[in-house]
Amino acid sequence: MSRKLVLVSLIAVVLAVSFAAPAKADPIVGTLALTGCGGGALGCPDATYSFNITSTSATLTIHIDGAVPVGGDHIIAVNLGFTPANNISGLTLASAPAGWDFANDIIATSQINSVTGLCKVDGKSAFICASFDPGITIAQGETYAWTWNYTLADPTKIAAAGNVHIGANYDPKEGWIVSQTIPEPSSLSLLMTGLIGLFGLAFVSRRQLFNN
């Protein structure tokens, strides 16, 4: 019986370690709902931003939850920041919402320029960006998605969720820009979850030992 208790405890330890330190090469999936432009700024419609990042592609999906304000009814640029610099090559925009002009868009490893509202094209490979002027017209209740394909020099360097950044620019170009970092789940709470599982399984095994 003591062997069974040790085995169960070892399994629980492995589970605890897995919760505390997930593999960085695993896909990063998350969602963030923002009021306005986030951080108290107004002018952007309330929206839910979702992302799915893998070692070969990334998708940013924007669902427009609230009423679209006058003058903010276009999206002309979007970006995701998720990986260390100098790690991306072969960046392309695989898909975009209807009306997006692939022939005249800007696809770059950069952030959105707060002056032009377009991609900066400054080579900051910590971000992937897509933009075109005048952008696409948006409406409340609709969903819009962009998918980038790329090659990572080191696929294990996909950033943790706390380092994922989302961005979107709603007309006018000089303002109403969403720029938000996705909060990182508490490592401590994940570790405690694993430890709770450890003690719980050990307690059950101990009861079985004494009952037998």
> What pTM does this model have?
0.77
Strand partners, 155: none
Cα–Cα dist 48/182, whole Å: 12
Q: 45 phi and psi, to 5 degrees?
A: -70, 150
Q: E strands of 55-170, at which residues? A: 57-64, 74-81, 88-95, 106-108, 127-137, 143-152, 165-170
- The answer regarding whether domain 24-184 maps to CATH 1.10.3470 reads no
Among the listed residues 117, 120, 97, the one whose alpha carbon sits nearest the alpha carbon of residue 108? 120
| pLDDT of 201 strictly over 70 | no
Q: What is the pLDDT of residues 83-105, one digit of tens each?
A: 888 889 999 999 999 999 999 99
- Average pLDDT value over all residues in the chain: 79
Give tens-digit pLDDT for 138-172: 999 999 999 999 999 998 888 877 789 999 999 87
